[in-house]
Structure 1
Amino acid sequence: MMTVKARRSGSRWRGLLRWPLRILAAFVLLSFFLVLLYRFVPPPVTITMLLDPNGITKEWMGIDEMDPDMPRAAIAAEDGKFCTHHGFDVDAIAKAAIHNASGGRIRGGSTISQQTAKNVFLWQGGGFVRKGLEAWFTMLIEAGWGKRRIMEVYLNVAETGIGTYGVQAGAIRYFHHGAGRLTRTEAARIAAVLPLPKKRAAIAPGGFTRRYGNTIAARIGVVQRDRLDGCIN
């Protein structure tokens, strides 16, 4: 027969376990709520923006208003399999891991979906916790938003310069006109800035950024020809 002491001990352990489960349930419900909300409403601000000491310059632009070469440039530069994967490019992740293990400049294997999940819901930097949360939100937005919405949000929250977020603000900053009338070269240069927006500039770019922008501009034609942007048209 269970003693009073044993019953009290079991009750205490159940009480201790109840709080983590409640916290987990609250997190899951909040995750679903935010993903559902941002399917229809532009994210007002992100953690990255709030922590930026340079301030926030941004202006939301719907993907229908953007020059079509801008999302094509993002696909060409960041994620050639954007329309065919389900949030994760296993081959790219494996290649990045092998490259990074060999030393040298660190290379990422994140898809546009993963970058969008990180930029909207999380913080910059690495770590297993952040990567795990990134995977969770990536699965949610892939299921709840679809590719077109993911690209639209990505191109509006990605950092395109110091204190500058989104391709509309980036286009105005660099080229003094909106992202609705970007040339192919201009779209490619903004895409070239995305991996290191604090160290690169799309106007009068340095050697690497200029060459990379030219490479992206050439790839835009391939994206259009092979309909690698078919999921957002």
Structure 2
Amino acid sequence: MMNAKSAAPRRRSRWIGIFLKIVGGFVALSLLMVVIYRFVPPPVTWTMLLDPNGITKDWMSLDRMDPDMARAAIAAEDSRFCSHHGFDAVAIAQAMRHNASGGRIRGGSTISQQTAKNVFLFQGGGFVRKGLEAWFTLLIEAIWGKRRIMEVYLNVAETGIGTYGAQAGAIRYFRHGAQRLTRAEAARLAAVLPLPKKRAAIDPHGFTRRYGNSIATRIGIVQRDGLDSCLK
């Protein structure tokens, strides 16, 4: 008859085995999803599915999109996009110092991190979600590369109420496709990205207008200094 002392290690071993199988299954599934989305557009995201306003989207390849749209995203969201490996230590440190001083909360997430969150996870905070975000960020940096990350980001990022991607946003606000955005229009779309449900790219006022004008100026700097070189 098995005594309590011998049963305990077996139970522990069984639970460890179950845990390792779950972890192994997650790793295999996440790798498969990342590899598939390296070539296939993500059909839908959790953010889209949970949006009560519906889903309006229209995939456009980065080759067809006006290059100023990607430059605007870099200027607004992640100036070191082409030089970091998924995480920007400088931006994170700056955000921590800024948030410690009070005022408007600022994030330090890169475009890579935002893409990982938008495609594979859900909105909101928490250590578990941030840990998963870091995992998927490492995977897409290694498997997709910068150009694919930017392409997916500009197609799944929310650009308005129930509107996803630069193409759908351009049609919503400017009545034409993202392949012929002006620099000012690209900057306005990028200005909407942090708060797409509260900001509008058409006839913006106040902070959104000032922010868009600032982004439009920085687009020229991104182009001049080759900050978008990884997309060519």
- TM-score scaled to structure 2, two decimals? 0.98
1:122 counterpart residue number: 121
Distance in 2 (CA, whole Å) between partners of 1:40 and 1:90 is 29
1:210 counterpart residue number: 209
Q: Report 1:146-225 matches (<5 A).
A: 146-225=145-224
Paired AA for residue 2 in structure 2: V
Please, which runs of 5 or more residues in structure 1 have no aligned partner?
Answer: none
Please, which runs of 5 or more residues in structure 2 have no aligned partner?
Answer: none
Paired AA for residue 100 in structure 1: N
1:49 counterpart residue number: 48
Paired AA for residue 65 in structure 2: M
1:16 counterpart residue number: 15
Once the 2 structures are TM-superposed, how far is the Cα of residue 71 of structure 1 from its aligned partner? 0.2
Query: Could you give the per-residue CA deviations for residues 122-144 of structure 1, whole angstroms, max 9, x where no partner exists?
Result: 01111111111111100000000
Report the count of equivalent residues: 231
2:27 counterpart residue number: 28
The RMSD of aligned alpha carbons is 0.9
1:88 counterpart residue number: 87
Once the 2 structures are TM-superposed, how far is the Cα of residue 41 of structure 1 from its aligned partner? 0.3
Once the 2 structures are TM-superposed, how far is the Cα of residue 7 of structure 1 from its aligned partner? 2.8
Distance in 2 (CA, whole Å) between partners of 1:117 and 1:12 is 36
Paired AA for residue 4 in structure 1: M
| Percent of paired sites with the same residue | 75
- TM-score scaled to structure 1, two decimals? 0.97
1:98 counterpart residue number: 97
Paired AA for residue 102 in structure 1: S
| Among candidates 2, 19, 42, match of residue 4 of structure 1 | 2
Distance in 2 (CA, whole Å) between partners of 1:207 and 1:102 is 24
Distance in 1 (CA, whole Å) between partners of 2:154 and 2:162 is 15
Paired AA for residue 91 in structure 2: A
Once the 2 structures are TM-superposed, how far is the Cα of residue 99 of structure 1 from its aligned partner? 1.0
Distance in 2 (CA, whole Å) between partners of 1:161 and 1:91 is 29
Once the 2 structures are TM-superposed, how far is the Cα of residue 9 of structure 1 from its aligned partner? 2.4
Query: Could you give the per-residue CA deviations for residues 139-176 of structure 1, whole angstroms, max 9, x where no partner exists?
Result: 00000000000000000000000000000000000000
| Structure 1 position 135 matched with structure 2 position 134 | yes
Paired AA for residue 82 in structure 2: C
SS at match of 2:147: helix
